[in-house]
Amino acid sequence: MIGRARAGKDTVAARLVERHGFQRYAFADALRRAALVADPIVIPIDTVNGSRRLSEVVGEVGWEAAKETREVRRTLQQFGIGIREIDPDFWVRVVMDSVKADVRPCVITDVRFPNEAEAVRAAGGTLVRVVRPGQDESDRHISETALAGWPTTHAIINDADLHSLLNKVDTLASAL
């Protein structure tokens, strides 16, 4: 799945898992595990709450809510990019080794960089772009923009209600 944050990629993937027997993977899963081990301070010191470590925030509200906060999202982006600067294929190897060993059809929810897209194609995968028209596109971080013009085989336009989106996923699944 290619698409901006909050376009609906995880919802699409969840439907593929629940209804069509796919196994879910994400490049960010290993990133999140590594970030929790590092456990950086993600909420700046203030006079009311003091500083907060990533593990505290995630423990309190869960990953989905935590990654919606600007500081957690920025921390994950910077940590991920830092590892990519040392080894551009680090996150790719972690996920693709698991995907290649899996006998089930797989969905990777967060393809964000050209080397990730190329690894999916090299493994025989299909790239699907999820687009939510009217979505805020102000986040210009490289992880949100690197695949903006990248060619995909399919696109899902998330422009209506959940029921409509799920129907589009079911149609896509029959084409894969």
Reported as a single tens digit per residue, the pLDDT across 39-93 is 988 876 565 667 888 998 899 899 888 888 888 888 888 888 898 899 999 989 9
| Mean confidence (pLDDT) of the chain | 89
Report the pLDDT value the prediction gives residue 97, as an integer from 0 to 100.
93
Query: Whose CA is closest to 72, among 52, 87, 94?
Result: 52
Report the pLDDT value the prediction gives residue 47, as an integer from 0 to 100.
58
Phi, psi of 158 (to 5 degrees): -90, 80
Q: What percent of the chain has a predicted confidence (pLDDT) above 90?
A: 59
- Ranges of each domain in the chain: 9-175
- pTM here? 0.81
| Res. 166 pLDDT band, cuts 50 70 90 | very high
**pLDDT above 90 for 146:** no
Q: What percent of the chain has a predicted confidence (pLDDT) above 70?
A: 94
For CA atoms 144, 3, 149, 161, give the dihedral sign. Answer: negative
Greater confidence (114 vs 144) lies with 114
Report the pLDDT value the prediction gives residue 44, as an integer from 0 to 100.
64
Q: Determine the CATH number of domain 9-175.
A: 3.40.50
**pLDDT above 90 for 176:** no
Q: How far does Cα 42 stand from its chain's mean position?
A: 20
**Where do the H-state alpha helices sit in 39-128?**
54-66, 70-86, 90-101, 114-122
